[in-house]
Chain A
Amino acid sequence: MKTTQELTDILDFAAEFATYMLGSGVHTSRTVRCVQRIGISQGVCIQLTAFQKSVIITVRDDESREVLTRVVPIPALPISFERNADMGALSWDAIDDKLTLEEIRARYDRLVSKPRIDPMFVLVTVGFANASFCRLFGGDWTAMSIVFTSTLVGLAAKQRMQAHGMNHFLIFIISAFIASLCASASLRFPCTSEVAIATSVLFLVPGVPLINGVIDIVEGHILIGCSRLMNAMLLVFCIAVGLSATLLMVKDSLL
């Protein structure tokens, strides 16, 4: 049987664990399963309901029938697949190795303080990725090199604006505008300029929220799924606005 203090400690940790997972771009059903595993390892039952901005989480001790509930805000964190995988592994280890709450907490603190991938490495690999994407759409080598450069400029601008904590809708509009404007330089060369302009903004596509939204909907978490899709669609709309600004300037050369 748990004391109220022990139950509160489990609830506080489970709430932090759940909100960190949801904030890092993990879909809802996976977050629920991982948090419930933490609960099983501590001998309590955990249920949670997730929304776009907050989580309602309840811990119940079956022996004493004591129930505690909290509503916790979800922090805005960068998407991290590494933390997604590691936190899932931690939830299984908690059951398999019968870890105590202190051990789980220590391992959790270690994994969330791991360094993230180097932004310079991201910048260069995304440049190559977008250039390859251009090739997949039928772009030639000139278009690919222009897309590579445009992506570097657009993504570097995005990273700087994110570091200054700007509004993320504005960041998407400005980055899309800068990247497509750079790519419109392709109109001066004999190359597949339409493909270059089209591809230059694709590094901004919010793939993770889009796919998580569809996963949540097909798994029955329709409310949060729609919220995620709506959020992703707003970002896609921002990309379209940035791209449209460039197209308005160069449309006559594209017709």
Chain B
Amino acid sequence: MIAVDIILDGAFAAVAAIGFGAISDPPLRAFPRIALLAAMGHALRFCLMHFAGLDIATASLFAAMSIGFGSLALGRQVRCPMTVLYIPALLPMIPGIYAYRTVFSLVMLLQSLSDGAQELRYMQAFFLNATITCSVVFMLAVGATSPIFVFKRRAFSLTRRNRRQVKNK
């Protein structure tokens, strides 16, 4: 049952990544790799949060790093830079529910200014959700970008043909 949950989580993340990626006009050759990276990253975050007890921001950091390293490994085959593969793969990990609760708390805060207890409750909920949303988005971007700093030369030459192809030309 747990395995089914993990696989379903990965599968839905893959569909989400393909759809959100399609908005940004990626090359068709990149789609299978985007789906694979999104499934791997989201399933990893699911496992880290449910089985290792990590919080959402730390789990997102590790999942984003795995997507970053994955895009470094898969980019050369399709001559795509890392960002083309990892940005769509990261999108299913955007903490939408927390973002929604931030907006909802703000609306309710402004609607309950005359009620002191409610006001404080919504103010607290607003800051809590806004902090989680911003932390997760920042961790996602930093985690996926970090492999560039470690493997600079490889990351900067993913769109180059390999040496054999250049020599044969």
- A71 CB-CB contact with B under 8 Å: no
A132 interface neighbour in B13, B27, B99, B161, Cβ under 8 Å: B13
Q: How far apart are the CA atoms of A82 and B21 in the complex, in Å?
A: 11
**DSSP majority for the A interface?**
helix
Contact (Cβ within 8 A) B27 A85 = yes
Q: How far apart are the CA atoms of A178 and B23 in the complex, in Å?
A: 19
Residues of the B chain whose Cβ atoms lie less than 8 Å from the Cβ of A202: 94, 96, 99
**Among residues 196 to 217 in chain A, which have CB atoms less than 8 Å away from a CB atom of chain B?**
197-199, 202-203, 205, 207-208, 210-212, 214-215
Contact (Cβ within 8 A) A244 B94 = no
Residues of the A chain whose Cβ atoms lie less than 8 Å from the Cβ of B101: 198
Interface size class of B (residues with CB under 8 A): 35 or more
Number of interface residues of A (CB under 8 A): 60
- B154 CB-CB contact with A under 8 Å: no
- B142 CB-CB contact with A under 8 Å: yes
Contact (Cβ within 8 A) A214 B138 = yes
Residues of B within 8 A of A (CB): 9, 12-13, 15-27, 30, 42, 79-81, 83-84, 87-88, 90-92, 94, 96-97, 99-104, 106-108, 111, 137-138, 140-142, 144-145, 156-161, 166, 169
Contacts A/B (CB < 8 Å), 11 sampled: A85-B79, A88-B158, A89-B159, A132-B16, A132-B19, A136-B9, A199-B96, A203-B23, A211-B141, A215-B145, A218-B145
